[in-house]
Chains A and B, each alone.
Chain A
Amino acid sequence: MATAELTGLDMEELFPIQTVLKADGTLVGTEPDLSPDQLKDVYRWLVYLRTFDQRSLNLSRQGRMGTFAPFGGQEACQVGAVYWLQKGKDWIFPTYRDHGAMQVMGVPAKNVLRYFMGDERGSYAPEGVNVFPISIPIATQLVHAVGVAWAAKLKGDDAVTVGFVGDGGTSEGDFHEALNFASVFNTPTIIFVQNNRYAISTPNVKQFKSRTLAQRALAYDIPGVRVDGQDPLAVLMVMKEAVDRARSGGGPTLVEALTFRYGPHTTPDDPKKYRTQEELELWQGRDPLQRMKRYLMQKGIWTEAEDEQLYQWAKDQVNAAVAEAEAEPRPSLDDMFDFVYAAPTPELQRQKAYLKAYLEKKGRGGARTHA
């Protein structure tokens, strides 16, 4: 309220929620410059990610993998935030809930699954896929996103970086430090906030008092924008502008996408303890997949039959990835000791030899070492 009293400005008006599609799929904003094939490609990703996410949460609940962080409900953000990035040139810095965006960037589904199954090898992004490993410490990756963008700028490359963070993460010092550094050094960095309303159990109202998160851009004198995070085309539109600006030397942007996670924070969490069924249903009524499907159908470029085929395709894709991930042998003792340093220290070599001998003595060696 203080902001309004001091400035006479209403922050919600100053940072209006950018929307292109209404929940019923009708167009309210300017149609983004996307071909029918691109629109279908976006929708294909949304459906695939929803399918992947639901299957993964089930695997976690069945004990077939460990603790899982679902993004269900946030698919438009996961796709839209990275859709315009140039593979092999631009970089993303994900949280544990951004494994959808990671896949759009080119990380194989199998790796994401192995990561949540508890295998270090799942953290690997193939060569040419510029995805930083998942950062669990909150908001820390944003400063890295600034650093990579800064380095690219210093080296004369026109690469762009996107750092992901949630609403809770905006309370961490690193969030503010990243914005300030990006601003001062005019780095090509987009800080993409998925405001899904809850930091585990803590609602926005207990997290920050400002009416928007986008307005924090004002303090750092950079562009800030608020977007309907359930509207795939709006996220695409906002990110197109931010990416183009960053690439052409215009510096950083803070994006606040208003969204909702349908599921728990992670598998052991029970969201019924802190939010209502009504709230969930309200957000499910704004579902990004439904919205996109209605839009495509109204546009006359999509049919129910194609939709059924798409869901079947997504299911097949995910089934294949799960089968591949589950067929992978357990990580070995080497996976535990490899990559601590460029070359193992003598002490590490001693420790590895000890553990190997111990496991062999206990009859557990065979399954745990590479041949």
Chain B
Amino acid sequence: MTRRLPRVDRVGVDERAAMLGRRSIKGEAKQQGIRLAVSMIDLTTLEGSDTPGKVRAIAAKAMAPAPGHPDVPACAAVCVYPELVGAARAAVAGSDVRVASVATGFPAGQTPLDTRLDEARQAVALGADEVDMVISRRAYLTGDDARVVDEIEQIKDACGAAHLKVILETAELGSYDHVRHASMLAMDAGADFIKTSTGKASAGATPGVVLVMLEAIRDHVDRTGRVVGMKPAGGVSTSKQALHQLVLVRETLGTAWLTPERFRLGASSLLNDLLLQYAKATTGRYGRPEDFSKE
């Protein structure tokens, strides 16, 4: 059956997204925004060279990003590969920081379905609170929506109580029409969150892509009443970009969405830029990278 794509005008989307990037956030609003952004970060390390030592370091940072600024909250989660879930679990014990694990053959997803399902189950068994899966682009790009949806449903099942983020890998989908369509498929299949990217592809969470997904969520919530969260990942590395993301959320879905329960930022170097900007906002002085530990 041929797919019926929703209609999205790219030029219009990009204009609106850019206009929202020109909002001027100052003073207390900026400080509040930075604190919000920190609380929404899934502090991420997804490298072949990750070890328990590395994971312990980022977990400590996620739990207390800025010891000198006690009003800066902890991050939402740490995000790691399945083999590091155990170390992450131990490292965040006693705090509210969650453990998210990528699974399902991240990032390309080109492994047999049973191994992907098994990986998800194991990640949860090792202690992951959240699973970030990737959709099958092979299925999507050959027009097999039914398979895309079926796989998500099965993986959701395999996750049990853990909540599921579905990564669309928007840079590979081809157009905003497809981003919207894939968002809808993922939400219909039961995603708890939809996520833009793995961070390993050519582009990540550009403002236009994020706006398209937020609009898709808006329509889904209107239609079904079920809230689905949103996680931009990849390409958000400065405070300005993070605040832009918050503006996109506020002016598309409303202030009720400015919570880590509904919005996360997948990032690694972003955190230190937020802290630097926070220090500037509260002390009035421009900082240097060494003002905050890199890990």
Q: Do A and B come from one complex?
A: no
Interface, chain B (partner A; CB < 8 A): none
* Residues in A lying within 8 Å of B, measured CB to CB: none
